[in-house]
Amino acid sequence: MAHNLDFTGGRANIAFLGSRNDVWHRLGQEMAEGMTLAQWAEAAGLSHTVSKVPVYVDNNGAKVLIPNVKAIQRDDTGLVLGMGTDQYQIHQPADVLDFAQRYVDMDSRFKIDVAGSLKEGRIIWVTAIFDANGSGGIDIGGSKHVIRLLMSTTFDATGATINKLTDTRVVCNNTLDVALGGDKRAEVRTRHTSKFNADKVARELEGMAQSVEKYKIFGDQMAETRMVKETVSKYFKVLLDIPFDAKADDVSTRKLNQFSDLNRAYQQTVAEGAQPETAWAALQSVTRYVDHAKSTRGGNETESRLLSAQFGSGATMKAEAVRLITADSEFSELMKRPLVSAAN
């Protein structure tokens, strides 16, 4: 079965600090404190190189060069990772890891804990845990959360590395982009052609650190925002585009299953300690559903779900879940704002 994790060389190309239980299927290479960047690159499967190669088409048996088009190819496997132009500047996998390390070195509150590649090397990703006070996490909405900086880049000629803060609810590993809490400083895009600017990076990381505090306020407020069970049900239906008055026979089996999965996720979220009948419990149930239950297409389901949750339709669903609660006037009316504390 195909995997979205890069298994070049017959192993999962992911390197990590910490517990193996925190990594998908307990795959990957365990790293120790003090290991060199070269050791990280080797363990994470980022020691290979890539090249730009010309692209030809077949014209009645004759090879015709396509001008100003280049394939980005792995030198070890020959796999085409993406397409670019003559002007596209290649970034080597190890260079991406080096940039990530130099980036987080500008702020001691960040430390790289995971590095690897996805989709046979088409996506390179690195995470750095954010620890402001040495506790390893922060309390949001009554439960422990860990904030990480997720740095990712692709070989599709977009020419940007995306650095964004993500929040993981420790009890169940639900994830949510911190920027969705309303602070756009939690996500930064950097062009590959940009020169490393230490002062600029330090300002970006400081802005991210400040955005964590704003995100905590957002989560705590959502945990005090009442959303009764009937409204939670309507919340899920809006997300799935199911009319409120629709009969079961009028809704596809797929959507009915998704609705049931969301309700189960809500029950599990509450059982794990989230305050029931709150907007935070409803939102966390959506992140649980996306990260652990939402169906995906192609390859291994678990790894495909990671791609969806962080980069694809799952990430879009999470963003819409936040928008409904915080910025949708019709849903605000449905919740009968101004809202009262869930404790009342």
Contact between 145 and 138 under an 8 Å Cβ cutoff? The reply is yes
* C-alpha closest to that of 15 among 128, 119, 115, 94: 115
Phi, psi dihedral angles at 99 (to 5 degrees): -65, -40
Pairwise CA distance, residues 100 & 94, whole Å? 10
Residue 218 pLDDT level (bands cut at 50, 70, 90)? very high
Residue 2 pLDDT level (bands cut at 50, 70, 90)? very low
Query: Can you point out the beta strands (E) in 105-227?
Result: 110-118, 123-130, 138-140, 143-154, 160-169, 174-177, 187-191
Q: How confident is the model at residue 159, as a pLDDT?
A: 57
List, for residues 111-145, the tens digit of each pLDDT value: 999 999 888 888 899 999 999 888 788 999 989 99
Interval 187-214 mean pLDDT: 86
Q: How confident is the model at residue 3, as a pLDDT?
A: 45
Alpha carbon separation from 269 to 123, 145, 246 (Å, rounded)? 31, 14, 27
List, for residues 29-70, the tens digit of each pLDDT value: 889 899 999 999 999 999 999 999 999 999 988 999 999 999
Residue 296 pLDDT level (bands cut at 50, 70, 90)? low
Phi, psi dihedral angles at 260 (to 5 degrees): -65, -40
Task: Give the containing element (helix H, strand E) for 331.
Answer: helix 329-334
List, for residues 240-267, the tens digit of each pLDDT value: 999 988 888 899 999 999 999 999 999 9
pTM: 0.83
Pairing mode of beta strands 62-74, 80-84: antiparallel
